[in-house]
Structure 1
């Protein structure tokens, strides 16, 4: 397809999505749940073909030199396809926010005012690498009464098409309009630009990817953006941390899965902490490349010298920057200067210090004595997530069903005229 045809393609998809959104907004919760369960069954039925399609993407990605962490994001096997189908079922089991009364008040003149949750309308989701997002985003949009236009990354094109085919077939069999969840059929980057300028057709865009994608979306968008920025997450080990817990959490927060946005990228350690040697040794023994200054290298000789940019880098790999700081206030200041407002954690047995950290660190998710790898909608009981919003407006943290709704005022009167 020529570049000149792509705006027309997106416009046509937007029109179909708008018509589908009207129908979705009128569906009952039970009807939406039934359609999602049908979609989950269709994904399971197509497991072999989805894995085969993913093998084509994996071969291309390996040939192009994609990093190990990004290959892990891309890879699908039977277990991950089952997890994807289970994620769709989990969304079906969530409480439907649409139609929920947020609050209600009766005015002195007798007017009854209510705020009611409603779908946003048509949501464009632009994402990279992870093919499971095709199902997660589609399921969340459909359950919250929104039509979705999905634009996945070129590296996962065959996987995305296979998952979308199963998802769409199942949703339609369950009674949803065929255009409820559409996948942009081209990989041309012009499709992203067309989505970002589709005013009146797309109500909100959700970018889910690296810095370059999010920067482009924020620079070019003419429709509202719910930004999922990079996960430059920190774990701070306080002087009052339990040493065994500190070692366990630091290792898990970095090495459980290095390619997810909740992976810790910088480890801050209080200079007054009892002994950082076992913590750093455990990380190095696990294959993590440590980067720090001379002070850190004196503790763990396998540490590489850190550059200024290390404190501002989301590695998404087995690399961790390490810095010693003078207490919680210094850790909070470092996070304010270098963090991405995603997820930051403190390890300490001092409740007062923990509460100060939780109050003063300005991130969407702050944690006490827990691994940053818990920064996930499923772990929060929200089912799948469409992303983790690091902004301040509308939704913050894991964005699931409620984050994909807005509200309207409903006013009921008995003939009141304003004097």
Structure 2
């Protein structure tokens, strides 16, 4: 396939999505929910087809020597397919975010004014190795009345193709036109770049993946971007931290799923707390096979620790590697996070309410935690059913983006002949 043909196809797909979005926007909540439940049933019924396609991607990944964290994100199983099918059912149970009257008032001249929520229109989704994003983003888009154009990474091309084919078969027996879900079936960079400039047909782009992907979209797109971010997340263990809470939170945040963006990458620990509880901390890190990259003081404390360089403080390891920074107080901890954090998820473990308040007020991040793991920065965990990404910007949406983030507003004025 030539570059020109790919470009034409991308534009044609965007146009089809735009037309479908008009039909989708006027469907009832019940019609959208019926479609989502149908898609969940079809995905479960055809999981073997999806897994067969996924195995091709995994085989290609093994041949190319992809890292374990990458392979974990790429890998599907019957359980994972059923999980994201159930995610669609959960989205179907959620309130419809559209056609809500946010506020309403009447002017002195009798003109009635309503501010209501409406779909964004067409969402362009650009993402990397996670095939579950294909389902999650489609479900959220359709429930919120939006069409979607999907551009997954080349590493998951077979999995994504199979999933979308199943989705299209499922939509055939629903009120949602299958054209509302477009999949750019190409590994060419030009196809992605074409999507960047479809401003007349695509209303917003959402990039989800590594830093280089997100930067490429933000820096090159003429379509408005809802920016997501990588997760260099920190756990700060304060001088007044409860030992059991601190250790449990750290291990969960680091090891539950090391390859996800809300996993902890850096431990910032108060020197006095570390001196008192170093044996317990060393034991639990060792028991969980966590590799320490430490500052000068940490290297003296932790066996087999390697000295941390500047890149370690900014690194999203996505593995069982952990950077360790020793500080003298909450202000120093905040300064370190401000320098190296990605405004994703940050946590403080402390029984000191004033220290917690200072941390929560001054740390600039989409999600902040006091005495809890960063692993809760997730649409499903927070009751959104699923998420289309985690926004680290401050405009329109921030944090896990569920259904409300995929709407905008419209002012509707009703009069009786008023003129100005």
Matched residues in 1 for 2:306 and 2:280: separation? 17
Matched residues in 2 for 1:130 and 1:154: separation? 11
> Quick check: 124-133 or 348-357, which moved more?
348-357
**Cross-structure match for 1:96:** 96
**Cross-structure match for 1:363:** 365
Contact 1:238–1:270 (8 Å) recurs in 2: yes
> Quick check: 406-415 or 26-35, which moved more?
406-415
SS at match of 1:291: strand
**Cross-structure match for 1:74:** 74
**Cross-structure match for 1:3:** 3
**Structure 1 residue 278, shift from structure 2 partner:** 1.7
**Equivalent of residue 294 in structure 1, options 270, 293, 296:** 296
CA pair 393-168 structure 1, distance change in 2 beyond 3 A = same
Matched residues in 2 for 1:301 and 1:50: separation? 45
Is 1:46 equivalent to 2:46 in the alignment?
yes
Matched residues in 2 for 1:37 and 1:30: separation? 11
Cα deviation digits, residues 117-176 of structure 1 (max 9, x gap)? 000001100001100111001111010000000011111111111111112221232221
How do residues 4-403 of structure 1 correspond to structure 2 at under 5 angstroms? Answer: 4-273=4-273, 274-403=276-405
- Runs of 4+ that moved beyond 4 A: none
Matched residues in 1 for 2:373 and 2:163: separation? 31
Cα deviation digits, residues 301-326 of structure 1 (max 9, x gap)? 22111111111111111111000111
Contact 2:148–2:180 (8 Å) recurs in 1: yes
Matched residues in 2 for 1:324 and 1:395: separation? 34
SS at match of 1:247: helix
Q: Which runs of 5+ in 2 are unaligned?
A: none
Cα deviation digits, residues 363-390 of structure 1 (max 9, x gap)? 0000111111111000010011000000
Contact 2:348–2:359 (8 Å) recurs in 1: yes
Matched residues in 1 for 2:282 and 2:33: separation? 47
Matched residues in 2 for 1:79 and 1:258: separation? 19
Matched residues in 1 for 2:348 and 2:379: separation? 20
Compute the TM-score of the two structures, normalised by the length of structure 2.
0.98
> Quick check: 377-386 or 350-359, which moved more?
350-359
Matched residues in 2 for 1:177 and 1:50: separation? 22
Cα deviation digits, residues 304-356 of structure 1 (max 9, x gap)? 11111111111111111000111111111111111000000111111221122
Contact 1:246–1:279 (8 Å) recurs in 2: no
Matched residues in 1 for 2:165 and 2:133: separation? 14
Q: How big is the alpha-carbon RMSD for the aligned residues of Structure 1 and Structure 2?
A: 1.1
Q: Which runs of 5+ in 1 are unaligned?
A: none
Q: How many residues get paired?
A: 418
SS at match of 1:173: coil
Matched residues in 2 for 1:71 and 1:89: separation? 27
